[in-house]
Copies of this chain bind each other. A is one copy, B any other.
């Protein structure tokens, strides 16, 4: 159940706590780019004494070790993502959904010709998603 998450934390020499395991598990099993608040609300059901600060702290430590990523796509709040290969994101203005765009830009390296050291790449697209376009037409 939790062994896989224990393993991840151990590999990164992060102290193991139930809260961190739950946050990590939640992100692994909910790939819809939740906010810190959504994670907090969900985990509070099984652990009513959970603190919002703990969720933020857990997200921070997981992010620092590159186990998860945060997205700044919305501009008002951060979204969190279980780390996978580089991919991009589409934000639908209508329904608010954030959809994975599973293509890396093959020309990405060209952007780096300025001599900067690039550690993160974010591709954000915004518009109206396929489903909302369909609804509109009906």
A107 and B109 CA atoms in complex are apart in Å by 13
A114 and B98 CA atoms in complex are apart in Å by 13
Mask, A105-122, CB within 8 Å of B = 1, is: 111101110111111111
Question: Can you tell how many copies of this chain the complex includes?
Answer: 2
A86 to chain B, nearest CB (A): 12
User: Are B118 and A130 in touch, CB under 8 angstroms?
Assistant: no
When C-beta atoms are compared, the residue in chain B nearest to A128 turns out to be: B117
User: Are B130 and A125 in touch, CB under 8 angstroms?
Assistant: no
Interface size on A, residues (CB 8 A): 38
Contacts of A108 in B (CB 8 A): 105
Q: Does A6 make an interface contact (CB < 8 A)? A: no
Q: Could you list which residues of chain A lie within 8 angstroms of chain B, going by C-beta atoms?
A: 70, 72-75, 78, 88, 90, 92-93, 99, 101, 103, 105-108, 110-112, 114-130, 133
